[in-house]
Chains A and B, each alone.
Chain A
Amino acid sequence: MSNVPGDLQYTRSHEWVRRLPNGELEMGITDHAQSALGDLVFVEVPPIDRKLARGEACAVVESVKAASDVYSPIAGRVTASNTQLAAQPELLNQDPYGQGWLMRLAPETGQGDADLISAVEYSKFLEDSQ
């Protein structure tokens, strides 16, 4: 069974979102996503200051098997991206909710995040899509 931490929010496209004390959001791909992709060998993260629309393709994670786009869960600006993944893409397999984080975003003001779902909802979504 895949790990779905209760303190994070999720998207139906298998991204996770963590709210940071400074108001920014950290995001990555879920344990289910990394497991489905298999061994990751290439990760491309966006440059700092790039503006993203909600649902925009903003990163690429590529495994031995396949390439997959990662979508921005919110509208915002990139404040940091995990450049360590270029040299160590396996961090994303080993620790998807920690060292495998992809980027941090400063949300655009006035934008809701209605598409984000809770850990309980995401777990149910995974079960239903089995």
Chain B
Amino acid sequence: MGLKTPLYDSARAQGGKFIDFGGWDLPVSFGSQLEEHHAVRREAGVFDVSHMGIVDIEGDRSQALLRELLANDVSKLTVPGRALYSCMLRPTGGIMDDLIVYLRGAGAYRLVVNAGTRAKDLAWITEHAARAGVQVRERTDLAMLAIQGPKARARAMPLLPEMLREPAARLQRFSAAEAGDWFVARTGYTGEDGFEVMLPADDAVSLWRALSAKEVRPIGLGARDTLRLEAGMNLYGNDMDESRHPLESGLEWTVAFEPRDRNFIGRAALEALRARADHALFVGLLLEERGVLRSHQRIDAPLPGSGDAPPPASRDAPPLAARDAPGALGEVTSGTFSPTLNRSIGLARVARGAGPQVLVDIRGKAHAARIVKPPFVREGRILIDL
């Protein structure tokens, strides 16, 4: 038996099929994963994400601490409630975690971290915080619901505490409002508009039930994965981990190299990698044949002279790191069937110069695929050429 969120019994009663997810018992679906996916793209759905770690950081030196710990720069957060997506790096540049940080007030921040990394994150943050004299508090007393979809905000708004309704209605994207222990952010992991709501664990069941009554249907981890992949969002542990750095994980845009005198952990390593400029690239993949892309499938150059495919990657292209399959151009890091595109899509790490046409090895057979720029889908709209 794994860890249970406050919504375990509710989800079970609604027919949730449970799986182990990083030590937590969480619903993978409530029936048809495809229907859940479409419900979020077209209407509204709610995810129990209470397994994620919520960490409050407070103290005079908290900004200085986070400017050292995070690769993005929290000094960009000038208005309370604003949010920032960032990696937390090891000195090697390897990604410890990806997280969202909210500014709550002077010297007060909230981090939302991945469930699978929360223990090591907390140890790392606490160790650095102790030296800086900053308070770190994990909020295991809070639950978290993600309410996502084009109709999510309108349906959720009346269910928020009275004093939060107006501030929540006025929220810009990537910002949050709070009252008491309720915290409402206009953020998410689906590529749709919506809220992520942190609230006292004791209030979670009644909000979950009220949402169901408002036709915000419960959604499992299965659809969460197809939605985030269509939205071109990375999954920690699949698309990146401590052996990968942001530049080869499609996350360079989240690293604030300016100002130059901000000496964040991992900076020196990333600057050296950036100067060498021979690291692999992180791309989207669209499978052009029937089948389904999955993580760890091998990517090869198309055979010379096959059809109208362009020539394989230039000979100058450096091979991927030695640990990757010899001769391969790269590897699929996440793959699935995209319900919106009715095709298979993926994220992949490939050598420079690869593509646009490549071959993916699916159970021993070469399948044609094309390198594309994620996201695949945002706010219900298809953004790539099929």
Q: Decide if B72 is an interface residue (CB 8 Å cutoff).
A: no
CB distance from A104 to the nearest CB of B (A): 22
Q: Mark A69-97, 1 if CB is under 8 A from B, else 0.
A: 00000000000000000100000000000
* 11 A-B pairs in the complex with CB atoms less than 8 angstroms apart: A38-B33, A39-B32, A39-B34, A41-B292, A42-B291, A64-B34, A64-B222, A64-B226, A64-B339, A65-B222, A67-B292
Inter-chain contact A38/B291, CB cutoff 8 Å: no
Given contacts A64-B336, A65-B222, 18 further A-B contacts (CB under 8 A): A38-B28, A38-B29, A38-B32, A38-B33, A38-B222, A39-B32, A39-B33, A42-B290, A42-B292, A60-B363, A62-B337, A64-B33, A64-B222, A64-B226, A64-B337, A65-B28, A65-B33, A67-B363
A62 and B222: CB pair below 8 A?
A: no
Which residues on A sit within 8 Å (CB–CB) of B336?
A: 64
Partner of B337, one of A42, A60, A86: A42
Complex Cα distance, B290 from A62, in Å, reads 11
List residues of chain B with CB within 8 A of the CB of A42.
290-292, 337
Cα distance, A62 to B291, chains bound together (Å): 8
Is B294 interfacial (CB 8 A cutoff)? Answer: yes
Contacts of A41 in B (CB 8 A): 292, 337
Q: How far is the CA of A86 from the CA of B289 in the complex (A)?
A: 12
Q: Mark B282-300, 1 if CB is under 8 A from A, else 0.
A: 0000000011101000000
CA distance A39 to B339 in the complex (A): 10
Docked complex: A83-130 residues within 8 A CB-CB of B? 86
| Chain A min CB distance to B343 (Å) | 10
Docked CA distance A65–B220 (Å): 12
Scan residues 14-39 of chain B and give those whose CB is less than 8 A from a CB of chain A.
Answer: 28-29, 32-34
Nearest opposing residue in chain B for A67, CB measure: B292
Q: What residue of chain A has the Cβ atom nearest to residue B19's Cβ?
A: A65
Give the residues from 34 to 48 in chain A that come closer than 8 angstroms, CB to CB, to chain B.
Answer: 38-39, 41-42, 44
Which 3 pairs between the two chains have the least Cβ-Cβ distance?
Answer: A41-B337, A39-B34, A64-B337
Complex Cα spacing A39 to B363, Å:
20
Contacts of A67 on B, CB cut-off 8 Å?
Answer: 292, 294, 363
CA distance A67 to B344 in the complex (A): 13
Residues of chain A contacted by B34 (CB below 8 angstroms): 39, 64
Pair A62/B292 contact, Cβ less than 8 Å: yes
In the assembled complex, the CB of B200 is this many whole angstroms from the nearest CB of chain A, namely 33
Q: How far is the CB of A10 from chain B (nearest CB, A)?
A: 22
B333-350 to A contact mask, C-beta < 8 Å, 1/0: 000110100000000000
Q: Kindly list chain A residues whose C-beta atoms are within 8 Å of the C-beta of B363.
A: 60, 67
Say how far A57's CB is from chain B's closest CB, in angstroms.
10
Nearest CB of B to A36, in Å: 9
